[in-house]
Structure 1
Amino acid sequence: METDSAVGGGRNLAGVLARRWHLLLAVTVAFGAAGVLLSSLQSTLYSSTATMLLNDPGSTSVFSQNNRVIVDPSRYVRGQASYLTSTEVLTAATKILHNRLSLDELRSRVTATSSDQLEQVTVTATEPTAAGAAEVANAVCQAYRETVRSSAAQNAKSTTDELDQTISRLRDSISELDGQLASTKDGSADPALSAARQAAATQLLTVQSRADEIAVDTATYGDGVQMFEEAKQPSSPTQPKPMVGGVVGAFVGLLLAATVVWWRAEYRRRADEKQEPATVLGVPLLGEVPEFVASAGGRALPAAYEPSSPAGEAYNFLVESIDFAVAATARAWPEGGAGGRVIAVTSPRQGDGKTVTTLNLAIAMARDDRRVAVVDGDERMRGLTRLAEVPDEPGLSDLGADVPVDQVLRSLDLDSTEGLDVIAAGARLEDPASFFRTGRFRGAVGRLRGHADIIIVDSPPLLAVSDAAAIAAQADAVVLIVGRGTPLRVLAEVRHRLEFVGTPLLGYVFNKSTGSRRRYGHYGYGYGYGQQPARTAALPAGTAGRVPDQRLGSGGRHAEAKR
């Protein structure tokens, strides 16, 4: 889904970096200074390069096809570049340098490369002094040329020696044939002897010509270097270069800092504005409830005590939004179902204000002359039971054990809530998750459908325990309470969890908004699992934002406080 991109790539990179410019600048300067310092600590080294343009080995008869030696010029040049750093050449170079450097030192300070386009090799030497670098590069080239010249001379001598032996044998053969021709009795030439003598003479001329050609080519080819450009003393060292080190360090620092800032911004990105959760959840905003202070004896119920306040009006608007969302979603629900609809109210995590939102939503719905049942489905925390100030038992768990429905229905000790029934959590269960997964919870909800037009279940946080997913699976729809500051990555996990459950998500309520606070502050919320809190523990936290400027559809409901 395209909503996934909102978590990882929804922000403008330039904007994120601009807000952290001071951090980026500090890291860049620090890394640049470190680069300058590290470069300054390096030992001083100079590099000098000598260049040799080699003869084309195919341009002389020494490497001709008649001599059965075919050489690819580019391959030949690559081979000579490797030969330049061979033990044979470097050993000769150490002698030229009067053993100033050992063979291993020379090998570590000299490199040779070949050109792909030209028959050219370059020799680069690195030394602590400029003069030393040039001296080493030139010494290696000199050693190479002397070695090649010596090798070529030896090869030519070996070849000409063999040719001289052939010439000597041919001359002896010709002399013998001449003697045989001269000894004939009638003085007439024997055709066979004449032909043999002619063939030997021709071969002799060929071999002599070849020997002369090799001698000329050897003198011409020499060391195989057509042009040699000596290495010069460099004017500046190759290291240290503090400015280069500083630039590289600054670039690395900037890149590293930008990466960390971007990663932290995306990883820690939170829903600080009411529309941000929609980019991740892919569902509409149902309402925005502001932070407010509890009133009237410390109960956080503005829908009952202050229905015309910003928070009270926010809950009234939330009822309208849910009505429209339910109507739009009803087409996907099975036809023929009897009784009221079940809406599970949950949140991503503890402290999002889920329980307070659930009870205020139920109170606002009850004013519309419909029967509303609000159920405490958070068996572990039982926050709705405490907020409504009703006994724990009998309740939901007892209803699943076939206790009559009229025995679990409780009324709020409030005016104008005649249509609202509260179902407490009930007797404590050893395995709450099993209760919600099995038919006991399904049966309890089914029995409530005949007594209410709409059933609202206060579920545990979706990512806290498995109960919430089990409750959502049995509900007709889900409403998600998103507290301001919720990480978007958490919302992405919630969306994936609800997609797995399959129950429609009507939308979300943006809770604890600061968009329209007026005189309303905030109230606390304590949520945890494990040790059961006392009844005097802090109640679940405040709910999301302010009333949106536009209502969904026409004919909005008017929330009037019934006295």
Structure 2
Amino acid sequence: MTIREFVRTVWAGKYYVLAAVLVVVAGALFYLDRQETMYRATATVQLYGVQSAQGGESLVEVTVMTDPDDVTSSEVAQAAATALGDPAAADELADLVTAEVDGETRMVAVQATTPDEAWSVDVANAFAEAYAAELVNIQAAQVAELEARRQALAEQLGGVRQRLNVDGDDPLALAEQDIIVGDYSALTVQVNSLRGIAVPGEVVTAATGAEALGLSRATVLALAVLVGLVAGIGLAFARRGLDIRVRSAAESTRLTETPVLAELYGTRPAEKEFAHTHALPVASKVATPFTESIRELRTAVQVSTAGMKHAVVVVTAADPSAPRSFITANLAASFALSGRRTVALSGDLRRPQLDRMLPAPDDWHGLEQELRPTGVPNLRVMPVPEEEMDPADFLATERARGLVGSLRDHAEVVVVDAPPVLAAADATILGGYANGVVLIASAGRTDRAVLAEAAERLRVSNVPLLGIALTGVTGDRRMLYASTYGDDEAVGPADTASGDEETSAPPAEGPARRPSGSGPRPGADEPAEPGGVRASGTAEVPETGDGQSVGTRRASVAAAAVAVEDASARAAAPVGAGDEPATGPGSPSPGSSSGSPARPASAPSTGTDAGTAHGRRTPQGGGRRNAVLAPAWSKVEPAAPAATGDEPENDERKRPFRW
């Protein structure tokens, strides 16, 4: 595992790490609040002795023989308790005291441990003084013991001598006599040495303070934080090991053996904004990570269906949690805004949503169950037919197949919104009528087994699966760069210079770009056109509280308007056989697009025309002026619009820039 993967895993489980740290720190604080701090005071007693040869050539230090138990003996405890003013608490005080004897330095450390610092000092000093005084008694007791042993040896020696008086050559009596004489001499030296010690011991270092036992509060909290971090990281890796949901594009490709066409960034914020404004993000011409992701998906689908004059693309999902209809609506709008005649078919007969996301214009009057225009140029919608049959049974009929075929004949792209693959057979049936299927999965929500099963079901039914669209992906710097490239603030002086006055124009600016306190701009009070484009070529952009626009508005907004108008002009041009739009109640009139009346190619250009080939402004009295290419895109040399209707339908080179 690389450091990058480690950091990503920890960051993905950051809430587990935070929760673990908080729990451990809270436990440490609980322990500290209820833990009684103990204090230990130490007093030192020095043992004294005398130098003695003790029958050998080398001198040794003779001291009173003592051990740690002598410090807590009943005599010492009683004397210390009396000194402390509580004679009845001798046994309790003895339990608070410990001792350590160092044989090399002949130092005895008397330690008292109590919950009170001052009390620990008093107890330690009292026991040290009592012990030093008791050493005199210990010395006397040891001298008396040695004297008793020496007296016993003297009696034994008298008996041996009586045996030698009878037989002076008795070897056993002679050997026993030598041993007794040696032991008697050694005891005599020890007794004399002990008697020569004037002061057996005294307190050399009294206790003046006590130290708190255990770790300090700061140390305990620091250790708690460290333990919490380790536990949280462990939980993060355990979460990763036990996670059964799709997390990345590489994982989706591995599970389905299908490429990921696009990673859709910022889908949830875009969906929330759409629920508030009821305006598709792609149609607003504001570059955001989501809109750039949709265009990336459109390009991938376009490449996958290259060479097809009429393409049918089904959009379905692996599970119901994916925002399938919202993505389908934006994908269809993206195809339409790129200049291709598009029809969005609401193929979800169980929970239809697509037709509500793409409402008809306010001035349109027709039947609800017929092909109708939308507010997006080149985009029409076929609502859900009202049928009493089961949805899967209806979609399997020749009538449904014929409906898809007729829509295919009247559009370059048909985008079908289908239910989730595993929820019903609808998506599989519709996929059989299509040139390709896009399967949507939600990162962090779609189960791996569900995604693999959905892809496998499409393959088993011989449905052409183009690839996966992974939504719910967290944005990164790459998408930030993609959504801000071409921003008017990034245009340098070299880009703003142009030799053609009519071709060059200042970047489009909206109200959100105007500094606070500045005066009105020319054209700022002109009425806004549909789609958010003013007559002066600027775009309506929502503002936040600090006056900044929501999302980054690109300097190519005007260029997008040119592309849309060019698409409208193409739609208004004469079409070949088989490409006539459907007629009938509620359908646009022949030769029109998106419900707009047809206009002869030689008619004077008005507000939505592309104008001249180089985007020159052509004011028409009280009408709208044509938008011009922003300087960031003015280097692209567009081609003049075709005068006849035999222009190739998929010729991308004749449009300088498409949204």
TM-score, normalized by length of structure 1? 0.50
1 or 2 for the larger relative contact order (CA 8 Å, sep ≥6)?
A: 1
Of Structure 1 and Structure 2, the greater helix share is in 1
TM-score, normalized by length of structure 2? 0.44
